[in-house]
Chain A
């Protein structure tokens, strides 16, 4: 569903991403681990065609993201570290707007409210302007937008940073449910616990290079942490 083929990005002399090969099948949750500047966000931006690759290819549902930029985005939903919404619109209006632009089926108001509830947004917040929302609430609207799009692939850039443990846990449950529905998920995160908890595979990145890639079923949480720290110290 998501595929990187020798995908790389350089900015002048600086290499943000060394040639990366990655394939994420439907139902898989791939967690990218690494320090800031390791190339996690670059990878996600390349999939979104926000930045042009220097070499290689990024594909979503078999579509080259640079050549079929608009078409490929139909198959992917994206939740950034901080979900950005229109402050003068309510949570419901934001969801309505973004789903309408995503070009998915037309939802009724009740269905839209359902997505917000599923994402964990308190019911009384639905009709309040987003300007008064907390970060967690915005994040939940972002999740609702992603769910409503019913895309085959999900790109997440540290989606749980700044969420309280309960919200974070609910989020993990959601990811599990979506992967159960056959969604391919690529998530950049700092949270080793979360990665082990809901990821099916993890990749450790360092200075633009994928230094380790393994299945979470092969490794315990403590071992994962040790492996991670070991790579960070090298």
Chain B
């Protein structure tokens, strides 16, 4: 009986012009999103690897120079794109993907497309993630709003129940029919998406991302399931399909338009982060001794006394090593302590904002699927932080190597020690490997659990409302 109901629902859905149009538009938009995602991904990856190669080549062939000059010359590090980034660009347009690693400073990331974007960018880029998060729920609403309410208005519900069809069987059949109807649009979408990922990143890298893809798919299925169950529940509850549609569109607006905006404002008000300007000012002030430590001049005096004592000499000129190297490294270390503290504070503030936003997701599943989607795609703040930390570690190592070289091979106040290409090649290249899927899942355990909870809750709601099906 369930099968008969499911089949009839499926046939009706295929013949319903509203579903066909909405589904068709969603598919076209998804195809466009995949296509742009693929070309963007392909192009950016190519540009990044070319730039990465160029920056390394420049480093290796910079010729004879002082190591500290080389540290100022610096290198660029590019955050590699994971295959699933085709689907979800995440925070990358805002946080940037490239950082210049140089002496003295932990730099902000560069290449932030959002900086160059027009006001239109506020509507968000057309990514597959946006289509899946915003438009597929709309398709599900179009498919479900009349499921019971439509039959109630048409009078066929009366006819069905007069036949002795149990309401739960009816609901189950309708859910299965809906599943098949959704499949008509989702299966080609998944194939298109897999194609886009494979074309953009190649089979080897794509296969390595399979665990991430499975978690991503699971999260989206939970998200869609929640909408489907809510759609069926509202349809079972509402007297007319019109009321059902209004209620569901209302929920969609809250979930997709109001909640994300409200969450941003609320989180910003409760857990504020410093502005970029204040952040830079704070670091500058700390470096100048504003953090309670000595001023740079006083520290230089102390260091000088300490080094003279250590080597048992009375003048810097008599040192067997270069004081410049020691002093530069001392400056680095002081700077690093400041960066660690200030960046640590900033990252922790972002984390606490994310956590707070996670909890708002109880009311709006979009706020739960968004971080999970970005996280699995490797484009969330956690991945950004992981990359930034790796790049900073590399920068510090690079600077230490330069300063040590200067210290060990120079003498006294000597600053003029020169090295050549064979030294540059001793510095290892910057290699970054993104964390694995389980790391990403652990980062988003809370939104994952919320997605699961809302799916289960919506399922129970659906079961309950369908069991108490009213005829009129």
Contact = CB atoms under 8 A, between A and B. Distances in A.
Contacts of B4: 97, 100-101
A149 B15 CA distance: 27
Interface stretch (B109-117, B158-166, B278-286): B158-166
A83 B471 contact: no
B317 interface: no
B159 A78 contact: yes
Given A84-B154, A86-B12, A89-B12, A103 B164 contact: yes
Nearest to A97: B8
A92 interface: no
A73 B1 contact: no
B11 interface: yes
B198 interface: no
Contacts of B159: 78, 80, 83-85, 98, 145
Given A80-B158, A85-B156, A100 B1 contact: yes
B5 A78 contact: no
Contacts of B156: 84-86
Contacts of A84: 154-156, 158-159
Contacts of A97: 4, 8
A222 interface: no
Interface string B3-24: 0110010011001100000000
Interface string A86-100: 111100010001101
B1 A50 contact: no
B5, B8, B16, B162, most chain A CB atoms within 10 A: B162
A86 B14 CA distance: 13
Nearest to B12: A88
A69 B4 CA distance: 21
A101 B166 CA distance: 10
Interface string A66-90: 0001111110111010111111110
Chain A's interface: helix, strand, loop or mixed, by majority? mixed
A83 B15 CA distance: 21
A48 interface: yes
Contacts of A204: none
Interface string A165-185: 000000000000000000000
A88 B146 CA distance: 13
A101 B167 CA distance: 12
A101 B165 contact: yes
Given A84-B155, A101-B5, A89 B11 contact: yes
Contacts of A50: 158, 161-162, 471
B164 A89 contact: no
Contact of B163 (A82, A93, A98): A98
B8 A73 contact: no
A82 B162 CA distance: 14
> What class of interface size applies to chain A in its complex with B?
20 to 34
A100 B162 CA distance: 13
B162 A48 contact: yes
Nearest to B14: A88
Nearest to A68: B164
A73 B163 contact: yes
Interface string B146-181: 000000001110111111111000000000000000
Contacts of A78: 159, 162-163
A76 B161 CA distance: 12
A102 interface: yes
A73 B164 contact: yes
Contact of B1 (A76, A82, A87, A103): A103
Interface in B66-85: none
Interface string B124-161: 00000000000000000000000000000011101111
Contacts of A87: 154
A150 to B, nearest CB: 13
Contact of A73 (B154, B162, B471): B162
B204 to A, nearest CB: 48
Nearest to A84: B155
Contacts of A70: 164, 166
Interface in B435-472: 471
A71 B155 contact: no
Contacts of A101: 1, 4-5, 160, 163, 165
Contact of A89 (B8, B158, B160, B162): B8
Interface string B182-196: 000000000000000
Contacts of B16: 88
Interface in B85-137: none
B15 A88 contact: yes
Given A88-B12, A89-B11, A102 B163 contact: yes
A82 B155 contact: yes
Contacts of A98: 159-160, 163
Nearest to A48: B162
Interface string B411-434: 000000000000000000000000
Contacts of B471: 50
Contacts of B161: 48, 50, 73
A84 B154 CA distance: 6
B17 to A, nearest CB: 9
A43 to B, nearest CB: 14
Nearest to B161: A50
Interface string B231-258: 0000000000000000000000000000
B2 to A, nearest CB: 10
10 contacts: A72-B164, A73-B164, A78-B162, A80-B155, A84-B158, A85-B159, A88-B15, A97-B4, A98-B163, A155-B162
Interface of B: 1, 4-5, 8, 11-12, 15-16, 154-156, 158-166, 471
Interface of A: 48, 50, 69-74, 76-78, 80, 82-89, 93, 97-98, 100-103, 145, 149, 155
| A-B complex: 4 closest residue pairs judged by Cβ atoms | A73-B164, A84-B155, A78-B162, A100-B4
Given A84-B158, A84-B159, A145-B159, 12 more contacts: A50-B162, A50-B471, A69-B164, A73-B161, A78-B163, A82-B155, A86-B12, A86-B156, A88-B15, A89-B15, A102-B163, A103-B163
